[in-house]
Structure 1
Amino acid sequence: MKTEQKWAVIGLAIGMLCPLLLVAQRLGESHNTWGKTAANGLAIATPAVCAAGAFLAGRKITRSEERFAQQIDNDRKQWFMLDDFIGSLDRGDMRAQVSNDFNDRKIAAQLDGYKTKLMAEKEEEARRTWETRGLASFGELLRATTDLSHLADDVVRFLVKYVDGNQGSIFFLQEQPDEEPVLTLAACYAYERKKHMTKTIAPGEGLVGQCYFEKETIVLHQVPKDYIRITSGLGTGAPGFIAIVPLKTNDQVNGVLEIASFKKLSNNAVKFLEKAAEAFSSVIQSMKTNDHVRTLLEASQRQTEELRSQEEEMRQNMEEIQAIQEQMSRQLERNTVIRHALEAREKVLGLTTILSESDVFGTILFANDKFCELAQYSQEELIGKPHNLIRHPDMPKEIFRQMWVEIKAGNAFHGIIKNRRKDGSHYWVDSTIVPVIEDGKIVKYIGARYHIKDDDVAEKLFFRQMRRMGLLDLVR
């Protein structure tokens, strides 16, 4: 039975109460016919009116229930649409869309905005994960070797593959004594220029040199013609993208990284290359510092060894010097004894012998006190004068001629000579003249004479000498 029919039956039942009440009232009354007639009509109409009113009320209630049920069903469908959309997002399906049948477009727009934000966060998270994983792997690579040349090969290979590039190269800064530094090719991966790669680049020269000079990343979306060619399995072609990144640490550039690709690299890939380049530059700087420290240490060790060797040599020299000093001390003691003996002999010689020295021409260079005393001349009067200053006129010149022949020949001359004093008197000497030879040449003559005080003895010796020399006729 329908709801409105139920309500009509209920209204009819209520309406039947009126006739029943009227019947009861009539049983108690017996007059007023009009009133009875009106009440009878009202009593008869009341059930129909109540049934109709209840029927209409039931219909209204039924329609309200149908609208409420329809609203609940619609709301359930709306929630199913939301649940399906949110479930798709939760499963990571970012292609999900809010159904066009969803009635609240404001909420739909908010959900689309949430999905866009979620997609951006997911992409950012994926980018961070990609970068973090790459930098972690790159860090392990940097710690794997201490050979900078091999490390450069591994680095350029890793970076080209990780950013999905095609070719790459690394240039290191090379210091040159008394010259400007240059960028030298250290490593390359799948790299081929049109003819030959330039292995040395001056700062400021070309794009690589410009990157070093400016210390900033250079990104090219339009690569100059014939700059480089990318070789692949399909042939060769010009790259569509090039990133040139300085290997920089604390504003100190240690080299340049160049990555070429057919397709454009994302900004995230370029930032990753910059971070990797900074990390690699730190390793380069550290290796350079370690090499410098190692060089200084080796130099210090060599200097220490040299100093130790020099110290040992100095110790040996000191021992030798000490031995020499001891030897010299002993020699000095002996020399002192010899000097004293020589002084005594010289004193005796000075008292007994007439000594003089002359040059090769007979000019007096030295005369001892005994010479000056016997000749009655002072040293000032004798030195610089010829020996014939004291020659006596009685002496034949032939004797002196033979004397010069002997001493110039390097032989010693011995003879009895009569000399003249300053006052004109004479004195006899037993004279010996010896040439002094140095480097095979006569440099001077030394004369030693002994005074013959007895004239008779001197004359006898003189005549005997003249007879021996065959000059006796010159004195008769």
Structure 2
Amino acid sequence: MKYITNKNSLLLMLFLAGTLLVGDVLLTLIILWLHYQGFFVDYLPHISLVSNILTFILISFAVGRLFKHFRNNAKQLHALDRKQQEAAWQTEGITQVMDILHEHDENLTDLGSKLTKFLCGYAGMTAVGFFVTTESKEELELITSLGFDLSFPQRISVRQGLYGHILHKEQALVIQNIQETTQEKYLVKSAFLNIQPQNVVILPLYFNHKLAGVVEGVFIEKMADYQLAFLEKIAESIAATIIEIKQNQENSRLLAESQMLTENLRAQEEELRQNFEEIRAVQEQLKEKMEQTELIKNELAARDKVLNIAALVTESDIFGNITYANEKFCEVSQYSIEECIGKPHNIIRHPDTPKELFREMWQTIKAGKVFHATFKNKRKDGSAYWVETNIAPVLDANGRVTRYIGVRFDVTERMEYLERVEHLLAESEEKTEQLQVQGEALQKQMKENEKIKNELAARINVLNQSAIVTEADLYGTIIYANRRFCETSKYSLEECIGKPHSIVRHPDTPKEVFQEMWKTIKNGGTFKGILKNRAKDGNAYWVDTTIAPILDEKGLPIKYISVRFDITEQVRQAKQIEQLLFESLEINKALKIKETELTRINAELLTTQTQLKEANEGLEEKVLLRTQEISLQKAEIEHKKNEIESSIRYAKRIQEAMLPTPEELEELMLDYFIFYQPRDIVSGDFYWVAESGEYSVDYLNTHKDFENKKRYCFFAVADCTGHGVPGAFMSMIGISKLNQIVKEQEIINTGDILRILNEEVHTAMSKYGQHSQTLRDGMDISLCCLDREKQILYFSGAIHPLVYIQENQLHLIKGDKRPIGGGFMAYKNQIFSVHQINLDKPTTIYLYSDGFQDQFGGNEGRKFMSKQFRELLFQIHHLSAQEQHSTLEKVLRGWLNEKYKQIDDILVMGLSI
């Protein structure tokens, strides 16, 4: 070890170089440290100067490699930190987007406005356009934009150009350096204010491969990869929210249509229940009963099912040929559907039925009236059956008959029972004549028998078309009862709702009947039976009952509908007749004993009996004539009702045509709502908007976005005298005159507008001779004029006030205490005040008629009052227009509480400036 050759020294140097080249810096440093510690001097003394030089070079290499290693580590740490920052930026951005989607998941315009502002502020976009697909899915509609001028396209096809190319691939497109791009046919035509776009991103919004919209954004600087990744991550969430908002809007529209259909059905049901006693009943609106269209369909199916079980229904053409027959008709007549369709109704005509009856039927229904009669028909096997028949014509828009609908009830058992009773009575009378029953007791009994016979005949000739209808939940609790049920059971509607049907159960009815009933309807079947019920006063009554369940989409019952016919009188008559027959037999036995004593006065009694019979026949004829007269009067009233209702609905269409359309309102006012709820079909309240006037040249030079609008925007709310048809005609006069004054005469002073309107209404009324001081034909009105250039609101009012809210403070400006028009000629030349409101701060404005505040309701049946109404407006003014409208609707429904009727037309207009 003390002597090492130069060869060994060279090998040591090579070893050091090899360790350095392979990257083992630590081992190299250890060898160098041993060298400087004298290890190699002590043990390797013969190393030459070359080895020292090589050692120095190796140290330099080692230091260089170490510095490079530290620099690479620093770059990696910097890159890792940048990626973490980019990931944190994406996470924060996604969180904020999720918050925006959660807070604005009801309105596409609000959502688009928030997203465009966020993307410009957070993602660094210079301009953003937010598109959604139209209903046809063929175009994209611009909802909102930021940074683009008015020439930016409002609609873009999804099949053509750059958008069609991108949407076909369902992926985002980034165009960097637009000026260097050669594919000009694919470039987006985005018009900017003062900046030429350099980098454009077009982001399709897909959810479950369904296109919901597109976001187009512009970057001044080149777009980074993490920014594009962020946009792609939020695209699906935005698309899901857009689809959800559209689905909610579609559901709201369907629900509104469903509610309208439900109200129409309930209005018709109310008209039938009241038997057309008052024509005004057709104008009353029933409360909402069902929430979903499917539930309405099931309920209608259940009602139709009950009707098909209880009645024989047919339809025929104008010649009487059968075009439709239900199963009940085929079951009773014994003809199949194929045997009925195309055949005349005379296939079931019984030869005993007089031909005069059918001639009368054709005369009635051809005249557009309803025919009603009870007569005998013939089955396919020749046997007879009795029906109570109602035949009604179906008219077209011109009043011509297009077909006939017949509804018949099988009353064969009842008629056969009455025939048996008449036959037994005839036998009793014959036996009485044979036994020559004489005496005051026999004469009294004969009169009683004749009286009962007349009562039975009178009851048979009067058709009781009214039915007892109730609805119950799955536990048998009453949730609806009609007027006939309350009259029969002696319970009020409040005493019925929420109570079980057992309140009318009679103890004489076996429990097994109800067990069988529940078993049938719970399995989805229909229960029929005759039950004995008990009224509130303890008296019993009999009903012919049909109960059917309403099923949901899974076929499970959700509630039950019961239709009952009161047959108490028939049951009582039957018992009386049985008792009468029993007494008659007993009397016959006693009369046989007195036969010899009564022979002498037999001839006198026969003469008296003949006279009574003639008198009774005359009375029956009068009753029949009176019944026919009532039926004709009823049909005439129904015809007049239809004519009046048709005229009122036509007047409603005329009135709606004169009111501003939603497109006109949205063009003039951005954030607004109109709560409009007429009391009747037509309304005495109306709202009106218009534009007039030109901007100054200086203002147009600095505000180019106003060049397509007029300077002055007018809006008004008016309440005409009365409601219904008279109020509607007065509202048409008011709208026509306001259009004349503002649009044709171009008067902008609100006080002058009301002054001229007052004079015009007085002049219009005087043409019809209405000079009386007691007449009050006119209107109360609140009128506003918005000066867009000066940002000032001018207000004038006739009776009506104006409420506005600024900086969380409510202000009330009262109108002048004088109406527009009216019978008092002293009001003709009135001057109206003009009030001015500066709109330099966010302002919410409300115009309204007195319908809401004068409505009776609540727990004590008092008026809502104006103070409480203003407090309500203050509570909701911070909400969106749609939410304010919904809140007013809910408050009004809760105030009425299904106990009170709307007494006046209601109109509230609110807008934020």
For the criterion TM > 0.5, the same-fold answer is no
* TM-score range normalised by the length of the shorter chain: 0.3 to 0.5
Give the TM-score normalised by structure 2: 0.24
Query: Which protein has the bigger helix share?
Result: 1
Q: Using CA pairs below 8 Å that are at least 6 residues apart, which structure has the higher relative contact order? A: 1
